[in-house]
Chain A
């Protein structure tokens, strides 16, 4: 049985080309990039090449890229780092209700420290109204953080417009681009952002590396103190091999992004159509068009999501769900809740997230596996 992986928003496999690029940086080129001898210099060069590739992907300056230990760390660093640096200017932050927990928990932490946070609502498709952002800004606002695209439903926000509003008011703007870097064009000037987070393992690089773009002139209080790594912004000897991998992954994504986006859109829409052709009462969660190419979040009325995941898993198909039953905390998706999806349909949600590993045949296999599963579970359900 061929296994089919449709959970690329959770993580992606390391691309073989990335792995090849990383290989020499474990045992051959192993120097500490901070050392001044030849071993160190060679490592440093590799590190800076990787930085250059990230900078190129984001159309940013190399000095503006700070490597981190994850997307989560990049989000934490942006939010807490700005809050702590600009505390004398104000104590108010603006975000949305559908952010990743890395952002929401950072904001909640700052609230405990006395900052105030506005959590903007979204519409039924998961979009933040830029006008709401404008209205939420006060004289005390120091940071706006709104994600580029949502990891659960794929909805893309009006980042350039929100960025323009932030700039008009002289407020810093951060976006979590973990789900879009390497998928959509991510040009920090076109997006009008001052800070932007990305993560390695969502773009076919290893887990445990990420980066934060910090626009020149933006002050950031470090999270991690120690040596003078990353221009004093993030201490700790760099994860050389994985960062080389991140650089390679960025290079590949930059070169192949446009083609891959078209291919994935086609595959995803084919999967959507095949499913709705064969199964009744299936509802799309997320924006019909303003949505990243690889993401399809559907609710199958009257069937709970975990039971769908388990059933598909037995057929070798990996997907995710926003159901409370699948979350460690037994809370249903805060994203679907914020979108106003009724609880039963939130419990019934399944996220298919496509990637490089998927083929048209995979879509057919999944569309064939689903109808008997849904039929069986619906026959068992007290809901109609």
Chain B
């Protein structure tokens, strides 16, 4: 059902936990199945200097969260912001069709965390 990459990230998720001094936090509930993800980012010089996640969800949700943190770690905010659920799913060598929404959870939490960072710092949203 799941790719080896998904199972690897599920079993050994990267960047799990909280950042007590986070600059931005994105929490998102999955409207489809009711699962929850929380993402913490530390920003320095417009780059994601550190990122951690907590997820209450299926294997695909945990693996997507983990993969997403790997994709954005060290990236400029503008670049991180362009990451889509498809990027996350592709990086995991694909997800079963009924699990695509789980990668949404990761992408949405990321965008929310960046938005939270901008609001906290009264920064304008960057035009897409």
Please list the residues of chain A having a beta carbon within 8 angstroms of any beta carbon in chain B: 302-304, 306-307, 310, 314, 323-326, 328, 330, 332, 343-344, 347, 379-383
Contact = CB atoms under 8 A, between A and B. Distances in A.
Nearest to A380: B16
Contacts of A310: 2, 7, 10, 59
Given A325-B61, A379-B16, A380-B13, A303 B34 contact: no
Contacts of B2: 310
A304 B11 contact: no
A307 B59 CA distance: 5
Given A307-B10, A310-B10, A382 B98 contact: no
Contact of B56 (A314, A324, A330, A347): A347
Contact of A306 (B7, B32, B58, B101): B58
B27 interface: yes
Given A304-B35, A325-B35, A382 B16 contact: no
Contacts, number: 65
B69 to A, nearest CB: 12
B15 to A, nearest CB: 11
Interface residues of B, number: 26
A304 B57 contact: yes
A382 B33 contact: no
B66 to A, nearest CB: 9
A332 B38 contact: no
A381 B36 CA distance: 8
Max chain B Cβ within 10 angstroms of own Cβ: one of A325, A326, A379:
A325
B37 interface: yes
Nearest to A378: B56
B64 interface: no
Ranked nearest first, the 7 interchain pairs of A and B with the lowest CB-CB distance are A325-B58, A324-B33, A382-B54, A306-B58, A382-B38, A310-B59, A381-B56
Contacts of B27: 382
Interface of B: 2, 7, 10-11, 13, 16, 27, 32-38, 54-62, 98, 101-102
A328 B97 CA distance: 10
B62 A380 contact: yes
Most B-side CB within 10 Å, residue of A306, A347, A379: A306
A323 B62 contact: no
A346 B108 CA distance: 24
A307 B61 CA distance: 9
Q: With a 10 A CB-CB cut-off, give which of B7, B36, B101, B102 has the most chain A CB atoms.
A: B36
A325 B33 contact: yes
B54 A330 contact: no
Nearest to A325: B58
Contacts of B10: 307, 310
A307 B62 contact: yes
Nearest to A321: B58
A302 B62 CA distance: 14
Contacts of A347: 33-35, 56
B34 A306 contact: no
A330 B32 contact: yes
The CB with the most chain A CB atoms within 10 A, among B27, B32, B35, B37, is that of B35
A362 B99 CA distance: 32
